[in-house]
Amino acid sequence: MSVDAHNMHAILCRFAQDWTEAHALAAEQLASWRPQESILHVVVAGMGGSAIGGDLLRAYLYDRISVPIFVCRHYTLPAFVGPHTLVCISSYSGQTEETLSAYEEAIARKAQVVVTTSGGTAADMARRYGHPLVCIPAGRPPRTALAYLFTPLLHAVWQAGLIPDPRAEIAETRQVLEEHLGRYPHASEDNPALRLSRALHGRLPILYAGHGPMEAVALRWRGQFSENAKVLAYGHVLPEMNHNEIVGWENLPELLRQTAVIFLHDAEDHPRVHLRMRITRTLLQPYTDSIHDIYSEGQSRLSRMFSLIYLGDWTSYYLALLYAVDPTPVSKIEFLKKELLQAQL
């Protein structure tokens, strides 16, 4: 019997379909919403799989939006939040205690709020206070609902007049996801996700990416390795890594031989970052014999980001199978939630 008892495989095969449905849903439910005050900053409040959409939004728009985007993974909001702040509440379950706490603060500070959730207390609060609500399908692990959690954020900043129309990039991203769907689900030798998972098996994955769009993509990979494959993963960004961490490769040789380094490359990486990656690769070769260069695919920034996200999702899936663990359950997270709930009683 397959270790994939909850059929994560089928969920991953739906990504392109999810992408289309999610954008249609966000477009419909946010069509009439406009901010009541000018927006000076954007805060995405969420945790785990519900927060990564905020990181991707920030990375995608880092040089395309004139207001800062802040991702809040905490109970309290930054001090600057007020009537000119767009607070995007992102909680797949609608019950995330940190996010609900931040939501209450957003209300108290009269921030402008948009809510994305599948239900729960977050949905109840949105209806009570008249906040725009994007109600997404329930019943799956939050990390597998990325399309539904990311797209309302993108539509919200577009509807707020903060970015140009993103629909052309949205359409191209759908095409790229469909193209990859022809490769990743099949256990064949020409499947890059399967090949990479075999190279990572028994090793500690270390991800390096350039500052900008791929920084958030690398964060997604790390989360997927942890939750799907139940294996630790680490990462850093260039050029910052070259100013500190690179020296840390000089000791612990036995440990370093058990690492696998993954460089995530993108066409928009700064030319000096391209050069830094090549030099860094040379410097690391004496310490590990598992170094992998992975390149994004697609024309637009959004499609390139999600091309690597999809590859990372499938790689973590196959790595879970190699470790003979079901990629879906996250028992330690569930245990922690139950303990926290008991402490409140």
Among residues 98, 105, 169, 227, the one annotated as catalytic is 227
Q: Residue 188: what pLDDT?
A: 87
Among residues 6, 41, 211, 337, the one annotated as catalytic is 337
Residues of the chain with pLDDT under 50: 1
Each domain of the chain, given as residue ranges in start order, spans 8-165, 188-322
Q: Residue 345: what pLDDT?
A: 58
**243 tagged catalytic:** yes
Tokens (6 digits) for 196: 């990479």
Q: Residue 1: what pLDDT?
A: 46
Q: Hey, which CATH number is domain 8-165, 3.40.50.720, 3.40.50.300, 3.40.50.10490, 3.90.230.10? A: 3.40.50.10490
Secondary structure, 3-state, the chain:
CCCCCCCHHHHHHCHHHHHHHHHHHHHHHCCCCCCCCCCCEEEEECCHHHCHHHHHHHHHCCCCCCCCEEEECCCCCCCCCCCCEEEEEEECCCCCHHHHHHHHHHHHCCCEEEEEECCHHHHHHHHHHCCCEEECCCCCCHHHHHHHHHHHHHHHHHHCCCCCCCHHHHHHHHHHHHHHHCCCCCCCCCCHHHHHHHHHCCCEEEEEEECCHHHHHHHHHHHHHHHHCCCCCEEEEECHHHHCHHHHHHCCHHHHCCEEEEEEECCCCCHHHHHHHHHHHHHHCCCCCCEEEEECCCCCHHHHHHHHHHHHHHHHHHHHHHCCCCCCCCHHHHHHHHHHHHHHC
Q: In whole angstroms, how large is the CA radius of gyration of the chain?
A: 20
Q: Hey, which CATH number is domain 188-322, 3.40.50.10490, 1.10.150.530, 3.30.360.10, 3.20.20.70? A: 3.40.50.10490
**169 tagged catalytic:** no
Q: Residue 158: what pLDDT?
A: 97
pLDDT tens, 3-56? Answer: 999 999 999 999 999 999 999 999 999 999 999 999 999 999 999 999 999 999
Q: How far is CA 212 from CA 175, 219, 237, 241, 277, in A?
A: 23, 12, 9, 14, 15
**268 tagged catalytic:** no
Tokens (6 digits) for 162: 């903060």
Among residues 189, 243, 250, 339, the one annotated as catalytic is 243
The reply to whether domains 8-165 and 188-322 share a CATH topology is yes
How many CA atoms does the CB half-sphere of 81 hold within 13 Å? 27
pLDDT tens, 77-119? Answer: 999 999 999 999 999 999 999 999 999 999 999 999 999 999 9
Q: Residue 275: what pLDDT?
A: 98
